[in-house]
Amino acid sequence: MRVLVTGGAGYIGSHTLLELMGQGHEVCVLDSYINSSKEVLNRVRTLSNGHLTDHEGDVRHTAALDRAMDDFAPDAVIHFAGLKAVGESEEDPLGYYDVNVGGTLGLLKAMDRVGCGKIIFSSSATVYGEPVYLPYDEAHPTQPTSVYGRTKLMAENVLTDWAKANPQKTAVLLRYFNPVGSHPSAQIGEDPSDIPNNLMPFIAQVAVGKRSHLSIFGDDYDTPDGTGQRDYIHVVDLARAHVMALDYAASHQGARPFNIGTGQNYSVKEMVSAFEKACGKQIPTKVTPRRAGDIASMLADASRAKAEIGWSATHTLDDMTASTWAWQSTNPNGYD
């Protein structure tokens, strides 16, 4: 298939490019590089030994979208381009709605113009909000607790209505849990441009000496060791899910959400211990008050993805920590 990948230079996008090219898909990237480096694409080209075209452009700009659609004529789009920092979304709600909802709307219009009717969308488990029950299945109520989460849910709704209005269209809504880890080559990985918001890259930067210690955001949750539990998913498993979702989209119509997680969760303290084992160093920690808006536990029921897409996670926690360490220790300054 000819696949246009918006946000393809980002953390999840870059890993997905390699999986797509490995499966023989023709790939084109559309990225503004607002949160990524062009160096990523050089590394993907070297690792895949394949042909990859790219367009620099913003998904909010009609001309950039039209140029990519006309030049590449995709059969399907994977839509990663978006903003993802929960805290920042509270300070800049309009900016987040503009990119995450407006960008999706513009993309669909551009797809309609060239008759491209299949899209895989990067949604998030954050659309569920405070758990009514766990594990979350796709029928769990969606009541996101952040602006970021509401932009993702709103984009899901736009995609669902778009698919409903034309029975030939397909929108696969992948609700990712907590992506971590790196490609086994250690050549591509997560490269936060600022102080990391997320746990894994923060631990990795402590291990490499860039930060003095990890703040554990609360140890008084109703969990076995008091720290927050998450369903961490290896980014290569997540990337594989996109390739399998494309196969699903080839023979299905309509919009459908799928949880992409492992069905196993780990606490902050368990993640720290696992990382210490991988890097052979102690990670200094300090317990601080809870982070506003955090949930005690998250856990995926990923049985729908297994039953309908044929996808399930194969990587272990050790794979997640070892690959993160391999990437961080060989690229202490990311792509710089």
Q: Which residues participate in catalysis according to the annotation?
A: 148
Q: Give the SS3 label for residue 219.
A: coil
117 lies in the binding site for ligand NAD (CB under 6 A): no
What residues have CB less than 8 Å from 209, skipping those under 6 apart? none
C-beta closer to ligand NAD: residue 34 or 63: 34
179 lies in the binding site for ligand NAD (CB under 6 A): yes
Minimum distance from residue 68 beta carbon to ligand WQD (Å): 24
Total residue length of the chain = 336
Task: Tell which one of 20, 35, 199, 313 touches ligand NAD (CB under 6 A).
Answer: 35
- Binding residues for ligand WQD, rule: CB under 6 A, are 84, 86, 124, 126, 178, 197-199, 202, 214-217, 228, 230, 268, 291, 294
The residue range among 4-12, 136-144, 286-294, 323-331 that interacts with ligand NAD, by the rule CB under 6 A, is 4-12
C-beta closer to ligand WQD: residue 105 or 295: 295
Q: Which of ligand NAD, ligand WQD, none does residue 300 bind to, with CB < 5 to 8 Å depending on kind?
A: none
Residue linked to tokens 């594989």:
240
Q: Which of ligand WQD, ligand NAD, none does residue 189 bind to, with CB < 5 to 8 Å depending on kind?
A: none
Residue linked to tokens 């949604």:
123
| Nearest residue to 321 (alpha-carbon basis) of 264, 263, 273 | 273
Q: Are the CB atoms for 89 and 154 separated by under 8 Å?
A: no
Task: Tell which one of 5, 9, 17, 172 touches ligand NAD (CB under 6 A).
Answer: 9
Minimum distance from residue 174 beta carbon to ligand WQD (Å): 11
The residue range among 81-89, 134-142, 267-275, 309-317 that interacts with ligand NAD, by the rule CB under 6 A, is 81-89
10 lies in the binding site for ligand NAD (CB under 6 A): yes
Rounded distance between C-alpha atoms, residue 60 and residue 118, angstroms: 19
The residue range among 42-50, 68-76, 78-86, 267-275 that interacts with ligand NAD, by the rule CB under 6 A, is 78-86
Q: Are the CB atoms for 163 and 171 separated by under 8 Å?
A: yes
Q: Note the Cα 53 to chain centre separation in Å.
A: 22
Q: Which of ligand WQD, ligand NAD, none does residue 36 bind to, with CB < 5 to 8 Å depending on kind?
A: ligand NAD
Minimum distance from residue 14 beta carbon to ligand WQD (Å): 16
Describe the crossing of helices 103-114 and 147-165 by its angle, rounded to 10 degrees.
20
Rounded distance between C-alpha atoms, residue 308 and residue 109, angstroms: 28
> CA separation (Å) from 183 to 119, 235, 251, 305, 323?
24, 8, 29, 22, 7
Q: Note the Cα 336 to chain centre separation in Å.
A: 22
Rounded distance between C-alpha atoms, residue 38 and residue 52, angstroms: 12
Give the interface with ligand NAD as residue ranges (CB under 6 A): 6-7, 9-13, 31-36, 58-60, 80-84, 99, 103, 122, 124, 176, 179
